[in-house]
Structure 1
Amino acid sequence: MIEIDRNIENTTYISLEDMWFKLREISHIKNNLNEWEIRLQFIESHMLIVAASGQGWITVDGQFIELREGSVYVCTPGQLIEAAAYSFDERGFYHLRFDVIGDVESSNNPIQIVKRDSRFPVKGEVIVSSPVSVNALCETICDCFQGEDRLKRFRSQILFQEVLYNILQDALLVQGNDLEAVLEGVKAYIEQHYQQELTIEHLAKVAGISSRHFMRLFKKRYGRSAIDYLTVFRIKQAQQLMRTGGEYRLQDIARHVGYQDDIYFRRKFKQISGIPPATFMRNNRQKIVAYHMFNIGQLIPLQITPCAAPADHPWTDYYQRKYQTDSVLPLSSDDLIKREELRLADPDFIIGIDILVSAEEQAKIKEIAPTFFVPWMENDWRKHLRLIAQFLDKTTVAETWLENYERKARFVSEQVKYTVKDDSLLILRITGDRYNVLGCRSLDTVFYDDLHIVPARGVDRMKPDQQVTPAQLADFDADRLLLILDEDALSKSSWQTLMHSEPWRGLKAVRNGRVDFLPPYPWVEYTAFTHELILDEALKLWRNRA
């Protein structure tokens, strides 16, 4: 989330033109097999993380954010920061520290380095429109800043201003205007003060606009009223407490998340979760195994964090961090070892996928615990979810989740149509030396079916993918391209070859600057959980962007 500072009451305001920016340190981390990290600390200076490649995460004042390629993260003095990154290639990523020097508009205040009360106008994640340009600038800055030549070091400061200009320009483009920045600020205020009694009148006062105007604008921006947003956030915090395994009483959990009336809390919890809180807590004590990778993204929407899941799933660590549990057993890829691990885990249920395991192996697994193998090919992802829910007696939870998904999809579709309009979209994945156009049983169902974006000419939606050559891409005549690049060296080499080819440079979407990127995981998975994530990504990519 991007935050843009406004003139705050009782705070001296420093406008952008009255600021100077001094780069203090820049590091380029690349080709490193080890994890880079920032240990938990209150930072004393402004910080940028430019994610050119790799995977990672950052927590800012307790809020977890997954680092994404093509994004920049702005942190300011006084924030509590922890971060880690890994699996980066020669592009790596950049870590910059800088000072903001402000000429405060008062005769009693001299020029000063702005520390604790930062007036830097942007905080949080910024999706830059041209990651290649920002990365190239950072690379040049590194070369100039770390040398002995004074003129080159001076040039590094000039180029650093250019980086900041690009970041500010893109942040302001996404925000659109001050009013949207105000709404983002109120949403953040709700998340920080959810335990308090919050009313529309109070939130409207925080926003500085009338209650009626605030209610209309908030619902238009986020698809639900501010009070509904507060309710959902409170229930999610309650669910998180229940997942920790602590023996909290329901009335204590209700008080913690801001409800003094136990009956009202139970009613709201069931409305949001699909089941009463006592049932949620009882179900959370069940041990349910995600036997295959895709099962993780099928269980999460059913309010289930699996007790065991494949160790080689790229996002297993993500689920552990997001749901704050270290109790997920990593399962071996060897069938024999895996069965023994399951016997020791003594699960209540096992969920797998029928086409990924032989009938003989299925029979052996069913001897360990009640097991359901999802019939994959004959059903779509919604039916997958419903079948698992039926087996686990969680049909109400599944239907509640699906209702919320359909509502969210309609909202996102309305939000992105002003940017996408009638543009055709081609989804291209680079895997090894292959260029595949994604079709059925992929994220294409979200973009084409749920968001009603027009498929590019020639996309065969009856096939899971279509292998193409760079020269054939022009035949699709796509207005927009969504590119998914696998993490292995051969895939990255194929991307470099494509990027420098004449067919690529001649594509309409490339010429018009309408190429967007997604990392391969978890978006390529055909599951309910990942499809909801795609809706969020579509908003980040295309809401209020030209």
Structure 2
Amino acid sequence: MQSKQGSEKRGTVSWQGLWMKLRHSEQIMVKQDVPHAGQGCKDKHRLIVALDGSGSIEIDASCYPVKEGEAWLLLPGQSCSFYIESSRKLTCHALAFDVYREAESEDGEAITLHRTTLPFAGRVTCLSQPTLRMRCGSIGEAWEQTDARSRFRAQTQLQELMYELLPDSQCAASEDSLETLEQTRLYLDGHYQESWTIEKLAAMAGLSPSYYMHLFKKTYGKSAMDYVTQLRINKAKQLMGQGNERIREIARQVGFSDEYYFSRKFKQQQGVAPTVHMKSRRHRVATYHTAITGQLLALQTISSAAPLDPKWSAYYRQKYAGDIPVHLRDPFDATFSIFLAHKKGPYLLGSEGAGSVLYDDLGLPKPATSPDTKEKTMVLLTLEGITTINPDRIVLLHPEGGEQSYKDSAVWQGLKAYKNDHIYYLPANPYYNQAYMPLGKELLLDTLEQTLNK
């Protein structure tokens, strides 16, 4: 089993010629959700130290509880977000730095530095909370000074801090336990429908059953049994939204041998019986703002498509993310245009028919340079005209075989949507021909659920 990106990854550190250069130091007061924190330093290694409070840290697509006294190491390119409950706060110190390895010339007269990446990431705490606070405070104080001598001191203190945080023989047992624990959690993610026992998981982690249960609950906030039950319930809700299978069959598919036990567990966690939940999912609703999504939740209605990033709290993200099939981006992150391929040229569709599904039902924004289509249902353009719009994403409705001429066009290939693989090719029949009717709109929404989330 392999640990996924964002979880704890360990490797052997070679100290020969290793050198680190501090680039930025700041203290972060987290009083509300902070999505995409530290984007300006995303190309650096980052050490996030929790000084006070508690919350959640999301590294790439994985979310972990974090509390004071913990330190997390991020590799270049990894995204980072903080989420807290409304009544809590979290104070962190963030250090951004580059890592180099030196190579000495044969005559010993010159040294060349090569940028490198550390062989591990994730939680790296091996120091006490007071020691971490003192070290970060000292580095931050020295870094705030602009003179070269103080900055040099901050650099040397970073080297010493990282030396103490990197895996060593004193931390090996604890870190190995956490790594193997994470591997068993990932195993459960992929085998939740199978039969398993605490003894089997503990043996996989190389721990005693009692210590495994203690460590699992301490690390993930719930027992292994509750964790698997949540996985099964989440999968069951997905299956309920996909078709008309019987409760008995859904229970069997997610790992429950007794449909009545499944129903009790489902109602215990969701507050409603599985049959009631299935009926509510027949009403397909797409929302384009988190406030509207939250209001629908109060009415026990879960959206079929909604923006989950970046404004939900950690609680809502963890509880409802699995219920919503399509996780839309923030409405202001990407612009959309929908075209009809025609022998006369590409038609830009307006706010009727298929266009209304994108712009009205899903609330997706048009590019600022898009022609006004209020007076017309569609506007005839040329391929060159599309380059002036240059949307982030494109939906092209085309007759059979009509998309190939676009794919072969150098102008089409120059669009940023093409370069980023964000063009969705759909047949005009039925998505254009029937998009003026309710059933046609629902069919297009169903298809977009599968395409926009790729």
Give the TM-score of the pair, scaled to structure 1.
0.38
Higher helix share: 1
**Which one has the largest radius of gyration?**
2
Give the TM-score of the pair, scaled to structure 2.
0.44
